[in-house]
Chains A and B, each alone.
Chain A
Amino acid sequence: GQNIDQPTEMTATEGAIVQINCTYQTSGFNGLFWYQQHAGEAPTFLSYNVLDGLEEKGRFSSFLSRSKGYSYLLLKELQMKDSASYLCAVRPYGQNFVFGPGTRLSVLP
């Protein structure tokens, strides 16, 4: 089966760096996704990692290690608007998307 784990909540300070971890157990998939979801809104696509390693996109970076079943989302220079839930997801071969429970990030002034 598939299982994705993320920390439930994290708190960080404006301007800081935060790393949100995601661990998964799944047989095989093309890539790992990260989505951002503000309260009451729909998830928005942040990143998609196919290969192992770090993908950088502005203040956000995402890392994948298939051998370790591990990914993380790195947010730099945190802003108040980054307060949101962050969801990681995979799509096992031939199956539907599986989303993690999400990590609620609170950015404090």
Chain B
Amino acid sequence: KAGVTQTPRYLIKTRGQQVTLSCSPISGHRSVSWYQQTPGQGLQFLFEYFSETQRNKGNFPGRFSGRQFSNSRSEMNVSTLELGDSALYLCASSLGETQYFGPGTRLTVL
């Protein structure tokens, strides 16, 4: 069974731009979560989607948003990028309790 996939793997943007990241969960998994990982803050929860509905949301500004489609694929969007948004963005899917992570998208904001 294929694992979680994320596109793109690497992205370079400039301040003020917006970005959309994509995640395809493991087949059959309906829950998708997004995390931001930085050296200083570790893994920080962004949001979780289940059956196209946002189930939980972390403590991030409204510039960070997401959605989930009927096939469980998910996207997250960051608008008005700031330098501090440079990070590894990880997507994880789950069927039960255990989460399985994708390879991540490395976003660099210049």
Contact = CB atoms under 8 A, between A and B. Distances in A.
Interface string A81-103: 00000010101000111111110
Contacts of A95: 56
Contacts of A41: 103-104
A25 interface: no
Given A96-B48, A96-B58, A30 B97 contact: yes
Given A95-B56, A96-B33, A42 B90 contact: yes
Given A96-B33, A96-B48, A43 B42 contact: no
Contacts of B90: 42-43
**Secondary structure of the A side of the interface?**
strand
Interface string A33-63: 1010000011111001000000000000000
A42 B58 contact: no
Contact of B45 (A87, A97, A102): A97
B98 A45 contact: yes
Contact of B98 (A33, A87, A102): A33
A20 to B, nearest CB: 15
Size category, A interface: 20 to 34
B99 interface: yes
Contacts of B100: 45
B103 A96 contact: no
A87 B98 CA distance: 14
Contacts of A89: 43
A89 B45 CA distance: 12
A43 B42 CA distance: 12
B102 interface: yes
Interface string B11-32: 0000000000000000000000
25 contacts: A30-B97, A31-B97, A33-B98, A33-B99, A35-B101, A42-B102, A43-B43, A43-B90, A44-B101, A45-B98, A48-B98, A87-B42, A89-B43, A91-B97, A96-B33, A96-B45, A96-B48, A96-B56, A97-B45, A97-B99, A99-B35, A99-B43, A99-B45, A101-B42, A102-B42
